[in-house]
Chains A and B, each alone.
Chain A
């Protein structure tokens, strides 16, 4: 079986070329960790305004906060508006109320952490009710890393599979093995299938490790089903792979593959959900509809943050599958350039 021969060869090559394998798996982990360090740093000590809090509670807050001021509600609003404090904490009818400034996710989570620590460190004898959290600006109650995490997972899977897949297929051409292969009775679809399956094995390993690392080591917010999430990342990886092998036909060397990064990859990062698109011009929103990562990121976000399942994101998955299928077919057609048969 020719497809099997290609698959086995790709696996063997990867086993020899450990650095490429490393780039595909370790590099995403490293970059995710760096982003986590920047976005999820918990060293920030928030500035707090308070009103009507019991004294021991104020004392504990003071231990954790950078600065605390006592303020009446309307004074607190002024302080929040001027950015002087990160939150206003008060108690109404025995329920703590936290009014977060809201625009800066890092300080939001710092305030919440501070409150939890303050609560756990004082012994009131009776449980303190869950606080009511309100926002002065915005609604985001998650850390920036939690919110963008799913998009980042999608992006790094996409990016590194794209690079490795594109360059491998290109090398097939520059080292002459494509020509040699096409002088054998192999069918063009067998060649492309072999590539998808061979690389598919490694994208599964890559996805598994990245998802595990993000959730269990970086503690990314995740309420969805692990295996369903893995399925989405693998589908996204296959889309990246088929796109990469397709585009590598239009590159003459490794450097030209790199040139696809600003054209194909970077726009997808900007328009796939890290930034809110709803306020942007319509043409950008339309453009984002043509980007595979938009659907991958949307599905990942829905699953990890909202806890949705496959049945809720079937539309996004269908589109991703469609992208992969179209790239696959185009790839077979483009190979006609190298052999008409």
Chain B
């Protein structure tokens, strides 16, 4: 039984079709990559899994419960493309706010804030206003904010955009260690070398899933040496 099931999801904004008959099964404890060029519908699909957007057609289930529900929103952590931080507030205040929205108790909250900031290596900047943060620090703080309530499913929309290779490596190390704690991760990306790091991939193009499988399976199936080539073969064939 898959942890996240996407069944026959189609969606259009007005007359513009964004997603067309999407079916995905994501197993518990996997890092699942949604790969595709910008405009492929990655963010739309991710928003649906989070429960912000209702698809025109089809259903999504997480842990056998239908999306959207408030119960599931406690289970998922979402990191959007924008950093979603309050610039005037300090790192601590941002996290205190998000934590109290999730209903964390005071003592537990302070302990969780320390723990997630440790994870993203920002503990030294606890009381600094976010507007003084660099781009990479903001990205990491966003990640920390989505980990605060210990979600079982982490949904990350382009988490490493605008982040240097060293930091990107650190963040991926972090994903691995989260995975070891049993957390399922869905991550969108258009960076090919990131795709290689996922356990399972779905190639999205023009609102359709072109191929799905582990990076190795995909490369074998198309008889190519890299995910980039898979992508070009699949996309070019259309």
Contacts and interface: CB of A to CB of B under 8 A. Distances in A.
A176 B83 contact: yes
Given A12-B93, A175-B85, A176-B83, A183 B129 contact: no
Nearest to A182: B52
Interface residues of B, number: 33
Q: Which residue of A6, A8, A177 has the most chain B CB atoms within 10 A of its CB atom?
A: A177
Interface in B59-76: 68-71, 73-74, 76
A183 B52 contact: yes
Nearest to A179: B80
Interface stretch (B98-106, B117-125, B177-185, B189-197): B98-106
A9 B98 CA distance: 10
A188 to B, nearest CB: 11
Q: How large is the interface on A (under 10, 10 to 19, 20 to 34, 35 or more residues)?
A: 20 to 34
Given A183-B78, A185-B70, A185-B73, A13 B101 contact: no
A122 to B, nearest CB: 63
A9 B85 contact: no
Contact of B80 (A13, A176, A340, A341): A176
A12 B94 CA distance: 10
Interface in A167-202: 175-177, 179-187
B88 A17 contact: yes
A185 B129 CA distance: 26
B28 interface: no
Interface string A139-176: 00000000000000000000000000000000000011
B89 A341 contact: no
A4 interface: yes
A8 B101 CA distance: 11
B86 A13 contact: yes
A338 B54 CA distance: 10
Given A12-B93, A341-B68, A184 B98 contact: yes
A184 B100 contact: no
Nearest to B77: A183
Contacts of A2: 100-101, 103
A175 B84 contact: yes
B52 A9 contact: no
B53 interface: yes
Given A16-B89, A176-B82, A5 B51 contact: no
B97 interface: yes
B98 A175 contact: no
B68 A179 contact: no
A1 to B, nearest CB: 8
Nearest to B75: A185
A22 B232 CA distance: 56
Nearest to A176: B82
Contact of A338 (B52, B73, B82): B52
Interface of B: 47, 50-54, 68-71, 73-74, 76, 78, 80-89, 93, 97-98, 100-103, 129, 145
18 contacts: A1-B100, A5-B97, A5-B100, A6-B97, A8-B100, A12-B89, A13-B88, A13-B89, A176-B83, A176-B84, A177-B86, A179-B52, A183-B80, A184-B101, A185-B70, A339-B51, A339-B52, A341-B70
